[in-house]
Amino acid sequence: MLKEFKEFAVRGNVLDLAIGVDIIMPPIGLLLGKVDFTNLFVDLSGKHYPSVAAAKAAGAPTINYGIFLNSVLSFLIVAFVVFLIVREFNKMRRGEEKPKAEPVVKECPYCLSSIPIKATRCPHCTSELKAA
């Protein structure tokens, strides 16, 4: 499942993106509304600023790793939820493909009767057959 998820996350699909942005993101935002890393940053000027916005307003150079963490976390959550939805949608669309059963009968090449696959002689015309 992890390999499938990696293939899905790397492959860009407009339907998947639309589902993630329009349908999944609002409930996730509601659930994760209390978690916000946007004000985690490193100020390279050596001064202390209370927020990224204050540092930007002062023109201080910053490394905004909190915004990066928010983006990565949001991407992974949305990608995983969309992956699960699309995976189930694909299963429903194609129907659970059942493995094909091995044939249990074959046709006699002489009299064209149906006979068991392991038969070496036809019960109808008594012809000798090659083993399967």
Contact criterion met (CB below 8 Å) for 51 and 39: yes
Given a cut of 70, whether residue 53 has pLDDT beyond it is: yes
Region 10-17 average pLDDT: 60
Number of domains within the chain: 2
Domain that holds residue 50: 2-94
Q: How many CB atoms lie within 10 A of CB 82?
A: 23
CA distance 28 to 20: 10
Is residue 108 located within the same domain as residue 73? no
Given a cut of 80, whether residue 15 has pLDDT beyond it is: no
Is residue 57 located within the same domain as residue 119? no
- Angstrom distances, CA of residue 88 to CA of 6, 84, 93, 122: 16, 6, 9, 47
State the pLDDT at residue 19: 64
Is residue 28 located within the same domain as residue 52? yes
Pair of tokens at residue 67? 């915004």
State the pLDDT at residue 41: 87
More confidently predicted of 18 and 27: 27
Is residue 55 located within the same domain as residue 16? yes
Is residue 25 located within the same domain as residue 89? yes
Is residue 84 located within the same domain as residue 112? no
For the CA atoms of 124, 130, 131, 132, what is the dihedral angle to 10 degrees?
Answer: -90
